Amino acid sequence: MIKIKVIEAKDTYFIRKEVLRKGIDLPFKFNGDLDNNTFHLGAFLSNELVGIASFMKSGNEKFTENQYQLRGMATMNKARGKGVGKELMEFAIIILRNRSANILWCNAREVAVNFYKKQGFQILGNSFSIDKVGTHYIMYVDVK
């Protein structure tokens, strides 16, 4: 059974390094990690942290509503396909609604687009490239 809990920023670093930054010389600590409006979620299987996601209050000019950005979502290989990402998103949306958020958006890696679509996200605009990481799309979902 998957258990989702609020965790601290430092608890996300190992999985960020392992999954998102492995072999890539980019920071795994993000601006905004320690902001008061930021929250981090961890997914646990048998008391082991296997998935993470961070949610930061943001000001993307493409959205006028109260918005949060999803950053650093990652699942360890051994836990993929078990619903970890879906559980993280469902838990986050409850928190976001309690914070009166309207929009959750992210810069989705091309390989994750289908996952986000299954969670109700839509693509906004054209693809773009992030140096050392690859093709991304801005994706968003209404969380009202």
Sorted by where each starts, the structural domains of the chain and their CATH numbers stand as 2-142 (3.40.630.30)
Mean pLDDT of 45-73: 94
**pLDDT score at 59:** 83
Mean pLDDT of 30-50: 96
Q: Whole-model pTM above 0.85?
A: yes
Mean pLDDT of 51-80: 93
Give how far the C-alpha of residue 121 lies from the chain's centroid of Cα atoms, to the nearest Å: 12
Mean pLDDT of 6-32: 90
**Residues in contact with 102: Cβ distance below 8 Å, sequence separation at least 6, in sequence order:** 63, 65, 66, 67, 142, 143, 144
- Count Cβ atoms within 10 A of the Cβ of residue 108 and give its class: 0-12 exposed, 13-18 middle, 19 or more buried: buried
Which band of pLDDT confidence, cut at 50, 70 and 90, is reported for residue 133?
A: confident
The predicted-structure confidence for 95-120, as pLDDT tens digits, reads as follows 999 999 999 999 999 999 999 999 99
Residue 124 pLDDT > 90: yes
